[in-house]
């Protein structure tokens, strides 16, 4: 009885809800992929030519990892397999999109440099933004260790509606039950779905789709690791097809920055807080060339009394110090008269990326403070 009531309620609700109909992609006449140095192209014929055009940018990582043992998930070589082998391992991809592949790097993501990250952002913009962009969507295969850093960087620097999906794997390609093939197909199907437009950069692993703005790695070893604590995922993959829980929306306060003229990202260090820490490494960071410092402080970004004078001394030299939290979840809210800048909702690595972007754009320290603090600060002072 109750089940029937619930069923009819559910039917009544679904009858009034907007139907989940996929709009079609805008068609683009021009297809000039020459600037991309494509190293792999999927087979084309009359059937495949009607599929959306997808650029896969491969960077290495565990998804391209190889080991001599099929039980090895700790001592394998990351970034051993090229983009063609990745795609050819998943024949379903050929029915999903017309695929071109480019090998942007082939490294474990802990070795992925700022220069490579900058290249990825510019290449993704060239691939999908603008009227004559040659692709409909981009998938980036990436090591999971720093996947959230690249994904967040793309989210705040690529300014268009086209889907950009970052994907990795927790088990190397040679492992029993390797997760890479399913994750890659998930990423491709998510990327070519028009339902994925206007959602910013996305991350797909383990049958979840999450927003790069909030998503982070939460567990060092298991497949079930990319999550958005507090914010939840945007959708799931059901039978490897994207299903979104809500229509497209952007995170509150999200802003995109134009980095088309940026040639390099300035060095920014992260310094970890702990009981009794005096943050003396802040001084070494600046002496070794850091143009900004992020503190991964305790709790809501608190710094020790002993650390404050040292931190103030580098701020006096013009170095911005932005407080984040080693908790990796929750807010560091602006506080009156603080010499440091409150990082807001970003975890330390995302705070670092944001600070790098602002510094690269030549923002003053007041502008950097405003970029981090003003949206949340002006919201809070309404009360």
Ligand X SMILES: *[C@@H]1O[C@H](CO)[C@@H](O)[C@H](O)[C@H]1NC(C)=O
- Told to check if 37 binds ligand X by CB under 6 A, we report yes
62 is catalytic: yes
- Told to check if 336 binds ligand X by CB under 6 A, we report yes
- Told to check if 380 binds ligand X by CB under 6 A, we report no
Of the listed pieces 58-66, 71-79, 114-122, 375-383, which binds ligand X according to CB under 6 A?
Answer: 114-122
Query: Smallest distance from the beta carbon of 139 to ligand X, in angstroms?
Result: 17
State which residue, 275 or 337, has the beta carbon closest to ligand X.
Answer: 337
- Told to check if 305 binds ligand X by CB under 6 A, we report no
Residue 217: enclosing H or E segment and its boundaries?
strand 216-217
State which residue, 35 or 299, has the beta carbon closest to ligand X.
Answer: 35
State which residue, 64 or 233, has the beta carbon closest to ligand X.
Answer: 64
Ramachandran bin of 54, using left for φ above 0, alpha for ψ from -120 to 50, beta for the remaining angles: beta
Backbone angles phi, psi at 131, to 5 degrees: -65, -35
Backbone angles phi, psi at 335, to 5 degrees: -130, 145
- Told to check if 41 binds ligand X by CB under 6 A, we report no
Are 112 and 143 in contact, with CB atoms under 8 Å apart? yes
Residue 359: enclosing H or E segment and its boundaries?
helix 348-360
- Told to check if 239 binds ligand X by CB under 6 A, we report no
State which residue, 129 or 281, has the beta carbon closest to ligand X.
Answer: 129
Query: Smallest distance from the beta carbon of 75 to ligand X, in angstroms?
Result: 27
Of residues 70, 159, 284, 313, which one binds ligand X by CB under 6 A? 159
- Catalytic residue selected from 27, 39, 47, 62: 62
Residue whose beta carbon is closest to ligand X: 47
Residue closest to 187 by CA, chosen among 339, 61, 347: 61
- Told to check if 312 binds ligand X by CB under 6 A, we report no
Residue closest to 328 by CA, chosen among 353, 350, 303: 350
Of the listed pieces 172-180, 212-220, 240-248, 251-259, which binds ligand X according to CB under 6 A?
Answer: 251-259
Are 53 and 134 in contact, with CB atoms under 8 Å apart? yes
Per DSSP, 228 falls in state -
- Told to check if 256 binds ligand X by CB under 6 A, we report yes
- Told to check if 130 binds ligand X by CB under 6 A, we report no
| SS3 labels along 5-33 | HHHHHHHHHHHHCCCCCCCCCCCCCCCCC
DSSP assignment of 140-184 equals EE--STTHHHHHHHHHHH--SSS-EEEE--SS-TTSTT-SHHHHH
- Told to check if 258 binds ligand X by CB under 6 A, we report yes
State which residue, 121 or 347, has the beta carbon closest to ligand X.
Answer: 121
| SS3 labels along 33-84 | CHHHCCCEECCCCCCHHHCCEEEEEECCCHHHCECCCCCCCCCCECCCCCHH
Query: Smallest distance from the beta carbon of 356 to ligand X, in angstroms?
Result: 15
Catalytic residues: 62
Q: Which residues contribute to the site for ligand X (CB under 6 A)?
A: 35-37, 45-48, 105, 113, 115-116, 119, 123, 159, 256-258, 336-337
């Amino acid at each position: 009885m109750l089940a029937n009531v619930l069923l009819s309620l559910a039917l009544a609700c679904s009858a009034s809800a907007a139907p989940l109909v996929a709009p079609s992609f805008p068609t683009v006449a021009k297809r000039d992929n020459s600037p991309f140095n494509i190293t792999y192209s999927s087979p084309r014929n009359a059937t495949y030519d009607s599929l959306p055009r997808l650029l896969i940018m491969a960077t290495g990582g565990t998804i391209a990892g190889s080991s001599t043992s099929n039980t090895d998930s700790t001592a394998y070589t990351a970034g051993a397999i090229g983009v063609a082998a990745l795609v050819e391992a998943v024949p379903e991809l050929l029915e999903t999109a017309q695929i071109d592949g480019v090998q942007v790097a082939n490294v474990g993501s802990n070795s992925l440099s700022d220069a490579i990250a900058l290249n990825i952002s510019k290449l993704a913009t060239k691939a999908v933004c603008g009227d004559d962009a040659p692709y409909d969507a981009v998938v980036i295969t990436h090591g999971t260790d720093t996947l959230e850093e690249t994904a967040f960087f793309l989210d705040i620097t690529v300014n268009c509606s086209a889907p950009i999906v970052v994907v990795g794997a927790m088990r190397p390609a040679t492992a029993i039950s390797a997760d890479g093939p399913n994750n890659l197909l998930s990423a491709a199907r998510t990327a070519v779905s028009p339902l994925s437009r206007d959602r910013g950069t996305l991350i797909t692993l383990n049958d979840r789709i999450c927003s790069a703005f909030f998503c982070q790695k939460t567990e060092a070893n298991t497949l079930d690791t990319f999550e958005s604590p507090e914010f939840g995922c945007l959708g799931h993959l059901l039978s490897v097809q994207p299903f979104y829980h809500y229509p497209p929306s952007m995170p509150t306060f999200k802003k995109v920055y134009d980095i088309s003229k940026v040639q390099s990202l300035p060095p920014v260090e992260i310094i970890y807080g702990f009981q009794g820490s005096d943050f003396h490494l802040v001084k070494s960071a600046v002496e070794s060339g850091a143009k900004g410092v992020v503190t991964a402080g305790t709790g809501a970004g608190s710094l020790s009394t002993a650390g404050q004078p040292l931190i103030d001394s580098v701020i006096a030299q013009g170095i911005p110090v932005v407080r984040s939290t080693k908790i990796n979840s929750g807010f560091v809210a602006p506080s009156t008269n603080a010499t440091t800048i409150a990082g807001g909702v970003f975890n330390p690595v995302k705070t670092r990326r944001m600070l790098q972007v602002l510094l690269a754009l030549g923002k003053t320290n007041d502008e950097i403070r405003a970029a981090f603090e003003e949206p949340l600060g002006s919201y809070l002072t309404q009360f």
